């Protein structure tokens, strides 16, 4: 479980003011062997949930579970399978036939000049980033509605509302997820199931380091490269740094909990203030 405590002036801990307990809940986080997905899976497990760890191969899932297996209250469950395929989806749903929490985190991104994105690439991005989440939602939402409790989350992006010129195909898919999230929230209306999307900003992962060096001088040390990236490509960020994966996970754990029971159909921002708008 996750606790946030008030601290007195002399540094002593006070009483719990927030307690997130997901004991007895089963969750699946797609693409959770590394990066944001791994941080979300760890956060849910620390709150007591049993969490399905998903990746394309048994080996990657096993390695990830060994790495994150210490210090979590909830169990880690192997759920390997490429959810962009019928076979992989069947593998995952067989491993986890019942869910209380579904976090659609799978997504790919890469800088590409707009006029160089061919039809096959447009389709690949849509099928991976959007359709895989839709298919998982179709698989698990009916059971959540039947039990009158569930949480479905889509990891979207600030790119869904501030389309980046260097990867409009990615931005398109994240915009689509906002529509998918709102639509399925309406499908689940009137009960204990909530459906939301999380607009994550540029987050510090191994993948983002490679992405940053696609856009700035490859000879720069990482700290300088990060600053150059934020200055040149994310100048509206109010925190003026990359977000850490755990900061995204904190929002997801809250939205997965009973504390967020009145939050549904929303697009909640963890973007460092990058989107220059009061609303998404």
Q: Tell me the torsion sign for CA atoms 213, 208, 164, 55.
A: positive
Catalytic residue among 109, 125, 154, 170, which?
A: 170
Q: How far apart are CA 96 and CA 41, in angstroms?
A: 15
Separation in Å, CA 239 to CA 1, 10, 16, 38, 245: 28, 29, 28, 23, 15
The yes-or-no answer on residue 170 being catalytic is: yes
SS (H, E, C) the chain: CEEEEEECCCCCEEEEEEEECCCCCEEEECCCCCHHHHHHHHHHHHCCCEEEECCCCHHHHHHHHHHHCCCCCCCEEECCCCCCCHHHHHHHHHHCCCCCEEEECCCCCCCCCHHHCCHHHHHHHHHHHHHHHHHHHHHHHHHHHHHCCEEEEEEEEHHHCCCCCCCHHHHHHHHHHHHHHHHHHHHCCCCCEEEEEEEECCECCHHHHHHHHHHCCCCCCHHHHHHHHHHHHCCCCCCCCCECHHHHHHHHHHHCCHHHCCCCCCEEEECCCCCCCCCC
CB 181, CB 129: distance < 8 Å: no
Closest CA to 158 of 205, 110, 199: 199
Active site residues: 170
């Amino acid at each position: 479980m996750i606790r946030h405590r008030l601290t007195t002036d002399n540094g002593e801990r006070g009483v719990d003011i927030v307690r997130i307990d997901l004991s007895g809940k089963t969750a699946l986080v797609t693409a959770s062997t590394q990066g944001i997905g791994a941080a979300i899976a760890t956060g849910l497990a620390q709150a007591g949930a049993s969490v399905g760890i998903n990746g394309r191969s048994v080996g990657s899932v096993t390695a990830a579970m060994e790495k994150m297996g210490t210090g979590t209250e909830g169990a880690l469950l192997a759920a390997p399978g490429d959810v962009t395929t019928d076979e992989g989806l069947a593998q995952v749903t067989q491993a986890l036939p019942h869910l209380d929490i579904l976090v659609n985190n799978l997504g790919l991104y890469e800088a590409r000049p707009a006029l160089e994105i061919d039809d096959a690439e447009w389709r690949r991005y849509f099928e991976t980033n959007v359709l895989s989440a839709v298919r998982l939602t179709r698989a698990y939402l009916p059971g959540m509605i039947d039990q009158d409790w569930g949480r479905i989350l889509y990891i979207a992006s600030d790119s869904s509302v501030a389309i980046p010129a260097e990867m409009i195909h990615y931005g398109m898919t994240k915009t689509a997820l906002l529509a998918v999230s709102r639509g399925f929230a309406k499908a689940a209306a009137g009960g204990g199931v909530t459906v939301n999307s999380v607009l994550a900003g540029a987050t510090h992962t191994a993948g983002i380091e490679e992405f940053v060096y696609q856009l700035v001088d490859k000879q720069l040390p990482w700290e300088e490269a990060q600053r150059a990236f934020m200055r040149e490509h994310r100048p509206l960020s109010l925190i003026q740094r990359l977000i850490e994966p755990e900061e995204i996970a904190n929002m997801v754990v809250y939205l997965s909990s009973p504390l967020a029971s009145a939050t549904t159909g929303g697009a909640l921002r963890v973007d460092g203030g990058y989107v220059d708008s009061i609303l998404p």
